[in-house]
Structures are given as structure tokens and as C-alpha cells.
């Protein structure tokens, strides 16, 4: 990791996350064996415990590289051992465990989300280095916990049905499929949840990108941008993501005029800003993270770049190292997801491909790497720098 010093605010926030990750690990360890009877729950709990341990190591390394000490925190743990249901009597212990775990993980997502804008403001972010910054760490940990929340959302309904079956409560629904005996209660409930999340997400094209208060000496401030403005167009193009603005600004020559369409208090106004910076620093080192949004094309490009770097690094070598260079960009994507603990359904959903296609990719990966299982393939990729390190 880089040696960017940590300011007091970030040091305090990271110390809080040390305590939260430590407490999460302890809480998961306290879950009783009866809750782990449903195999997907047992796998999930093992993955969370292992990931929390990895997060603790990464947090300690970042704090120490920032010139601070980890030490002991004075804060009260947010998650005490025993918070999650154990082996006590009662119905539906496993589903109650997942429900409580969902809340704990969601709270940690919010805390990591708070860290990122703080780190960005002080340039402890991808604008300063290609890896190892506080923003990189927080983003990676947030993605890990988001993946766990998604897995809970995916399995919770099936788990409840499994518990009801264990209690011999058969389906009494009279919908066409259930009436035939093909119970779709969990599937339909999961669809409602997914639709609710989708409906609750505002569409950028409709809302625009809201502007924060510009720096006093900035070009945006001089042009008349105000806090609360929403940029809906730039140079005649609709703004559907941050990437549109980043690319447009980047592609203009210094002092060139940029035409913005802005929604202000319900009205559309035009603002012309010139491209110049008042920060007095050179261009960002890692523009890719700032410009390209995290969509499938982004991951495809990153996978292709990783594969090309490997081919340069291992020229003339043999065995597994050479096998890594033979992976296609899509296979690199799949391998990275495998290394993060994703199963085939999760990989299929992430990459929008069929599960059979995922299985074929994994088979090809194992053959090219000479690995006997997924864990060996992921370990080999990590050893030779294909996977991001926190």
C-alpha cells in the first residue's frame, strides 16, 4: 500500500471499521450449528468470517502505512457476540439469523460509503494512485459486504420455505403453479424484492447529476454553478452517468468552453464553463477509475488490461503462469468473481450470462491453469497479480 498519511478523520473512521469488522467476525462465530444445517447458510457464514479477517488485515495495513497505530479502540462494538441467533429454542432460527445479519452488513455498507467521499476529498483516492488508497480499500470492502447482502436476498426466501417444509407446513397457495404442486412462493417473493429495489433506484437521466458547492476559486463557481443544480446535459448530450461529464471535460482543450444544461429549481438553465483548474496540480494518475463507470464494459476492459499485463510479465515462463496469459477477458472476469467467493448463479447474474456458460468458462479456466479446483485457480491468479490486492 502507498504511504499517504491519514488525517485524523480518516484514521478515526478506519479505527471504527477495525472494531466493526472484528465484532462482525465474532458474531458470526457465535452462531450455533443448528443454524448452519441449511448448507447455503453455512457457506455464507464461513465466507463472511473469512472476509472479515481479510478486511481486518487490510485495515491494519492501511492504518500503519498512513503513519498511524492500530492499537485498541475505545468505541463500543456495534456488533456484540451473540447478537445473531444461536442454538436457542424457537422457530426459524436460520432465517432470523440471516435477517439480523442483513441488518448488520447493511450498517457496515453505510459506514464504508461514508469513508469514500472523505477520502476522495483529501485525494486519498484513485486520483492519487492506482491502488492502495483508502478509497480503494473502502470500495473493495463495500463491494464484499454488498455481495453478502445480495446473497442473503437471494437465499432468504428459499430458506424460509425450507424451514416451513421442516415444520411440515405444506404450500396452500392456489395460484396456477402452486395449485399444480410446483410451489413458486419463494421465487415470486424474491421477484417482488428485486422489483422493489429497482423501482426505488432513481434514474440518472431523469434526475440529473446533482452539483455540490463548487470551490470558491473554481471555474464552475465562476461560471455560476450553485449547490443543488442538477446537470442534465453537456455539449448537447444527455448526462446518464458521471462518466459522461468526466469524459467530456477531459476531451476539451485547456480554456475551451463547455456547454452545460442544468436544472435549477425546476427550470432549465444554460451554463458555459471554461476548462481550467485552480488546484495547481497535474492530471490524475489513474483516470480510468474516474472516467469509466463500473458496468460490464468496464470490467471487460479491466480484464483485458490485466491479461495483457500478465503476458508482458511472464514472457518465457511456463506452467500456471503461462496458463493465466491464455485466459480470455471473459474468463478473467469469471476468475475474479470466483476469487471473491461468488458461486455460479451469482457470476451469471453479475455478468448477465447463463449458468451453463459460467460452468463452461470455469472448466476452461481450470484446464488452462492446470488447477484441480476453484480455490487453486484463484490462488494462482492472486500469486501472479491478476487479482486486485487490498
**Highest-pLDDT range among 40-49, 90-99, 291-300, 356-365:** 40-49
Confidence check: pLDDT of 288 > 60: no
Report which of residues 292 and 17 the model is more confident about.
17
Task: Identify whether the C-beta of residue 313 lies closer than 8 Å to the C-beta of residue 346.
Answer: no
Q: What's the pLDDT at 278?
A: 80
C-alpha cell at 248: 467530456
- Tell me the pLDDT band of 287, cut-offs 50, 70 and 90: low
Neighbours of 309 (CB within 10 A): 14
Could you tell me the pTM of the whole model? 0.65
Q: What's the pLDDT at 381?
A: 72
Q: What is the pLDDT of residues 217-232, one digit of tens each?
A: 999 999 999 998 999 9
Beta bridge partners of 264: 267
Neighbours of 375 (CB within 10 A): 11
Confidence check: pLDDT of 213 > 60: yes
Any idea how long the chain is?
390
> Residue 12, Cα to own-chain centre: how many angstroms?
22
Q: What's the pLDDT at 138?
A: 92
Q: What is the pLDDT of residues 146-168, one digit of tens each?
A: 888 888 888 888 888 888 888 88
C-alpha cell at 347: 457470476
Q: What is the pLDDT of residues 292-316, one digit of tens each?
A: 444 444 444 444 454 454 445 444 4
Confidence check: pLDDT of 1 > 80: no
> Residue 302, Cα to own-chain centre: how many angstroms?
15
C-alpha cell at 7: 488525517
> Residue 24, Cα to own-chain centre: how many angstroms?
18
Q: 175: closest CA among 166, 184, 167? A: 184
What are the extents of the domains in the chain? 8-169, 207-274, 295-383
Region 265-274: what's the mean pLDDT?
Answer: 93
120 HSE (CA, 13 A, CB side): 10
Report which of residues 368 and 78 the model is more confident about.
368
The pLDDT > 90 percentage for the chain reads 26
Confidence check: pLDDT of 318 > 70: no
* Residues in contact with 209: Cβ distance below 8 Å, sequence separation at least 6, in sequence order: 230, 231, 239, 242, 245
Q: What's the pLDDT at 16?
A: 94
Task: Identify whether the C-beta of residue 366 lies closer than 8 Å to the C-beta of residue 331.
Answer: no
Domain 8-169: top CATH class: mainly alpha
Q: What is the pLDDT of residues 87-113, one digit of tens each?
A: 444 557 788 888 999 999 999 999 999
| CATH number of 207-274, picked from 1.10.3210.10, 3.40.30.10, 2.30.42.10, 3.50.50.60 | 2.30.42.10
Please name the residue that has the C-alpha cell 481550467: 276
Catalogue the E-assigned strands of 247-385.
257-264, 267-274
| CATH number of 295-383, picked from 1.20.1110.10, 1.20.1560.10, 3.40.50.2300, 1.10.10.10 | 1.10.10.10
Report which of residues 370 and 33 the model is more confident about.
33
- Rounded CA gap, 277 and 284, in Å? 12
- Rounded CA gap, 300 and 361, in Å? 15
Q: What's the pLDDT at 283?
A: 53
Q: What's the pLDDT at 326?
A: 78
Q: What mean pLDDT value characterizes the chain? A: 79
Confidence check: pLDDT of 122 > 50: yes
Amino acid at each position: 500500500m502507498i504511504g499517504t498519511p491519514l488525517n485524523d478523520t480518516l484514521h478515526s473512521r478506519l479505527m471504527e471499521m477495525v472494531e466493526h469488522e472484528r465484532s462482525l467476525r465474532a458474531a458470526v462465530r457465535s452462531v450455533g450449528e443448528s443454524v448452519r444445517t441449511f448448507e447455503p447458510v453455512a457457506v455464507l457464514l464461513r465466507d463472511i468470517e473469512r472476509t472479515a479477517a481479510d478486511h481486518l488485515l487490510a485495515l491494519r495495513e492501511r492504518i500503519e502505512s498512513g503513519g498511524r497505530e492500530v492499537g485498541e479502540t475505545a468505541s463500543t462494538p456495534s456488533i456484540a457476540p451473540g447478537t445473531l441467533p444461536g442454538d436457542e429454542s424457537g422457530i426459524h432460527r436460520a432465517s432470523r439469523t440471516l435477517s439480523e445479519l442483513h441488518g448488520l452488513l447493511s450498517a457496515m455498507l453505510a459506514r464504508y460509503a461514508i469513508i469514500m467521499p472523505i477520502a476522495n476529498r483529501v485525494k486519498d483516492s484513485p486520483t492519487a494512485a492506482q491502488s492502495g488508497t483508502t478509497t480503494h480499500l473502502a470500495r473493495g470492502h463495500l463491494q464484499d459486504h454488498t455481495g453478502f447482502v445480495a446473497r442473503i436476498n437471494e437465499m432468504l426466501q428459499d430458506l424460509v420455505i425450507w424451514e416451513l417444509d421442516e415444520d411440515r407446513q405444506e404450500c396452500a397457495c392456489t395460484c396456477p403453479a402452486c395449485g399444480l404442486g410446483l410451489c413458486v412462493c419463494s421465487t415470486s417473493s424474491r421477484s417482488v424484492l428485486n422489483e422493489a429495489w429497482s423501482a426505488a433506484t432513481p434514474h440518472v437521466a431523469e434526475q440529473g447529476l446533482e452539483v455540490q458547492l463548487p470551490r470558491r476559486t473554481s471555474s464552475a463557481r465562476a461560471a455560476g454553478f450553485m449547490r443543488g443544480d442538477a446537470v442534465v446535459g453537456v455539449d448537447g448530450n444527455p448526462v446518464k452517468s458521471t462518466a459522461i461529464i468526466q469524459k467530456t471535460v477531459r476531451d476539451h482543450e485547456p480554456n475551451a468552453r463547455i456547454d452545460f444544461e442544468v436544472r435549477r429549481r425546476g427550470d432549465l438553465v444554460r451554463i458555459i464553463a471554461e476548462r481550467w483548474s485552480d488546484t495547481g496540480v497535474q492530471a490524475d494518475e489513474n483516470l480510468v477509475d474516474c472516467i469509466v463507470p463500473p458496468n460490464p464494459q468496464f470490467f471487460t476492459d479491466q480484464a483485458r488490461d490485466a491479461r495483457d499485463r500478465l503476458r508482458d510479465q511472464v514472457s518465457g515462463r511456463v506452467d500456471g503462469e503461462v496458463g493465466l496469459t491464455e485466459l480470455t477477458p471473459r474468463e478473467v472476469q469469471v476468475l475474479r468473481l470466483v476469487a471473491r467467493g461468488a458461486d455460479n448463479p451469482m457470476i451469471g447474474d453479475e455478468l448477465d450470462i447463463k449458468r451453463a456458460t459460467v460452468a463452461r468458462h470455469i472448466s476452461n479456466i481450470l484446464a488452462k491453469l492446470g488447477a484441480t479446483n476453484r480455490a487453486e485457480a484463484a490462488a494462482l491468479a492472486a500469486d501472479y497479480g491478476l487479482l486486485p490486492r487490498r
